[in-house]
């Protein structure tokens, strides 16, 4: 019998809460996130948005967080884009509040698993899911298995040194804020044939190519899937990304690498959270299994 899970995808500026079954995502709701909230305020916020969606049909809670997580205990260690939200015993907090089993994972891991389990991939596929949102995070599925590292820190390419800061300063929403705008606003301007806006996305694509080059050198994957809110503007940055990559990466590698945009959109991390829960808590199945 299929389980119904309450799944949360928490980001630096927005949160999604939904009920998820083997059939898919239902009753999805969006909430704004205050990145400047205190630790106590964030804990209260999470409980409140869960309360607005959860009902008696929900048998467990899964939450993907943009954080380093101590996997054994479900403790949030630190969250770059919500600075005060750190050292949080989140699993214990939610378990006590809702009297249900709880799984805490990194949000990029949930995204990558959503893409892997919903896609037509071989069991030994090496897939990297890169989230382009408030920051840049990545989930690693290597030889068909999710790799997180002990603290769920594997795939934090956004924190690598780059130019005058770190990679995510140039390859996430932070890049557009530095230009005095937002990715959403700039995308609307690009759609209206604003040449300046389109040029900024071209520059963004070049920076993203440098980030992906490091991913390739580290893992030499079969597939890289780009998701997150900034990926909506892919038509304006993919050409420069591919052009710049051709200057950085051996052509033999590029010929066998598939770089694509997520077709699951916001559902990917929710579906991935469901798959991770079913695997890790209920059945202990290989991650490439059929979760239905």
225 occurs within a structural domain: yes
Say how far apart CA 237 and CA 234 lie, in whole Å: 5
189 and 144 in a common domain: yes
Provide the pLDDT for residue 109.
Answer: 94
How many angstroms separate the Cα of 63 from the Cα of each of 45, 60, 97, 107, 224? 13, 10, 14, 8, 23
Provide the pLDDT for residue 273.
Answer: 96
164 and 93 in a common domain: no
pLDDT exceeds cutoff 70 at 28: yes
* Radius of gyration of the chain, Cα coordinates, nearest whole angstrom: 18
How many angstroms separate the Cα of 291 from the Cα of each of 4, 102, 199? 13, 18, 43
153 and 222 in a common domain: yes
243 and 128 in a common domain: yes
129 and 105 in a common domain: no
181 and 156 in a common domain: yes
What's the mean pLDDT in 152-164?
89
150 and 24 in a common domain: no
71 and 99 in a common domain: yes
Give this prediction's pTM.
0.92
237 and 208 in a common domain: yes
Q: How many domains does the chain have?
A: 2
Task: Tell me which of 71 and 23 has the higher pLDDT.
Answer: 23
CATH number at residue 225: 3.30.420.40
Task: Tell me which of 65 and 151 has the higher pLDDT.
Answer: 65
> 40 lies in which domain range?
5-110+266-283
| Burial environment of residue 31 by CB neighbours within 10 A (0 to 12, 13 to 18, 19 or more) | middle
162 and 145 in a common domain: yes
% of residues, the chain, pLDDT over 90: 82
What is the number of H-type helices and E-type strands within the chain? 9, 14
3-state secondary structure 119-178: CCCCCCCCEEEEEECCCEEEEEEECCEEECCCCCCCCCHHHCEECCEEHHHCCCHHHHHH
Least confident span in 41-45, 191-195, 261-265, 278-282: 278-282
Q: What pLDDT, in 10s, does the model give residues 72-109?
A: 899 999 998 899 999 999 999 999 999 999 999 999 99
């Amino acid at each position: 019998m299929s389980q119904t899970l309450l799944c949360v995808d928490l980001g630096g500026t927005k949160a999604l809460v939904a009920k998820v079954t083997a059939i898919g995502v239902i009753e999805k709701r969006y909430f704004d996130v205050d990145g400047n909230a205190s630790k106590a305020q964030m804990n209260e916020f999470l409980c409140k948005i869960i309360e607005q969606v959860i009902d008696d049909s929900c048998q467990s809670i899964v939450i993907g967080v943009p954080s380093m997580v101590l996997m054994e205990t479900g403790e949030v260690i630190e969250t770059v884009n919500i600075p005060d939200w750190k050292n949080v015993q989140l699993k214990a907090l939610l378990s006590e509040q809702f009297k249900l089993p709880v799984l805490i994972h990194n949000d990029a891991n949930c995204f990558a698993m959503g893409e892997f389990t919903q896609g037509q991939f071989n069991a030994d596929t090496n897939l990297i899911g890169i989230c382009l949102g408030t920051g840049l995070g990545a989930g690693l599925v290597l030889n068909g298995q999710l790799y997180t590292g002990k603290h769920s820190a594997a795939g934090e390419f956004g924190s690598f040194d780059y130019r005058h800061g770190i990679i995510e300063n140039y390859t996430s929403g932070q890049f557009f804020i530095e230009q005095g705008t937002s990715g959403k606003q700039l995308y609307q301007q690009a759609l209206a044939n604003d040449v300046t806006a389109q040029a900024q996305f071209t520059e963004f694509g070049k920076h993203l190519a440098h980030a992906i080059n490091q991913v390739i050198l580290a893992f030499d994957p079969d597939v890289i899937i780009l998701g997150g809110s900034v990926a909506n503007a892919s038509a304006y940055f993919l050409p420069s990304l591919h052009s710049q990559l051709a200057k950085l990466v051996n052509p033999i590698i590029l010929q066998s690498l598939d770089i694509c945009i997520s077709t699951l959109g916001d559902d990917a991390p929710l579906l991935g959270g469901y798959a991770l829960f079913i695997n890790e808590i209920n059945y202990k199945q290989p991650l490439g299994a059929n979760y239905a």
